[in-house]
Amino acid sequence: MNFRLLIGVAGIAAASVALADNHAANEPEWSMGSPVEIYGCSFKDGIDGYQQSIKHAALVNAWAEEHDAFQNHVGQLMWPDFSDGQYATEFTWLGYWESYADYGADLDKRAEHGAELFVKANKFLEQCSHSEWGAWDLFPANDWTLGNHLTEFSDCFYHDGKGDADLLVANIAFAEALTAHGLTGADLGVSQLWPRAGAPAGIDNAISFKWITGYPKHSAYANFTHIWWNEGLTNEWNALYGDIVSCDAGRVYQSQVMNTP
């Protein structure tokens, strides 16, 4: 199976910014989305968080093989790289699938047979959140997402009167702008995550979506930043999205891939 998602490794079946075939007046339409789950937790006092996280990921993989579960799933640990020191969690696990059928089957198996996983996790983690998101690709990444890489998150909010239709038109134009600057899926990938369940509460302060950009390594991140600041890509982004959304400053993680198909 070919997985292509910048968030870690899983793929979205088709790019979200594709034009619809035989659609009225060639209007753009969104493609199929894919499921993403995120755990965010704190480490208990006195715990070597990194060591315990790696051990737990190995336990999860062994359990999954025993129960023929999570075989079409990608999972990664995420560690802050560029941070203001205000990260909400010390432990972040992000996992995703290509299809909701695989996702649902794996959750059934975990619910029926996975009690031991939660018992083990509770020995070193506390104050855990568990959220579910839907993901759509804007600019698909290459297979470097199957290995360790960087992932940048920004939270975005729609301006009053703006919505998905406006965003999709901007997405199509921005994908074209990335290509015009010589960027390809070997350089980066871009996706957007939409809250389904377990996202921060509150209608007034809830985000509209997360903007995710992945890079194969730090030099790719630096090259994109050069294009962003010094070749005018930031101005193009503002012209396309400035009236539609506001997004906060990026938070960059080192993504350590622990599970692949």
Terminal Cα distance for the chain, rounded? 8
Exposure of 149 in the CB half-sphere (CA atoms within 13 A): 26
Asked if 1 and 92 touch (Cβ cutoff 8 Å), the reply is no
Asked if 185 and 140 touch (Cβ cutoff 8 Å), the reply is yes
59: tokens are 């336990």
Q: What is the pTM of this model?
A: 0.89
Exposure of 253 in the CB half-sphere (CA atoms within 13 A): 25
Q: Which of 240, 236, 47, 215 is nearest to 144 (CA)?
A: 215
What angle (nearest 5°) sits at the alpha carbon of residue 207, between those of residues 203 and 213? 165
pLDDT tens for the chain, 261 residues long, are: 334 444 433 333 333 444 333 344 567 889 899 999 999 999 999 999 999 999 999 999 999 999 999 999 999 999 999 988 877 789 999 999 999 999 999 999 999 999 999 999 999 999 999 999 999 999 999 999 989 999 999 999 999 999 999 999 999 999 999 999 999 999 999 999 999 998 765 556 689 999 999 999 999 999 999 999 999 999 999 999 999 999 999 999 999 999 999
d(C-alpha 183, C-alpha 147), whole Å: 20
Q: Which of 258, 10, 230, 3 is nearest to 134 (CA)?
A: 10
For 24-259, CATH number out of 3.80.10.10, 3.30.470.20, 3.30.2020.30, 3.30.70.100 equals 3.30.70.100
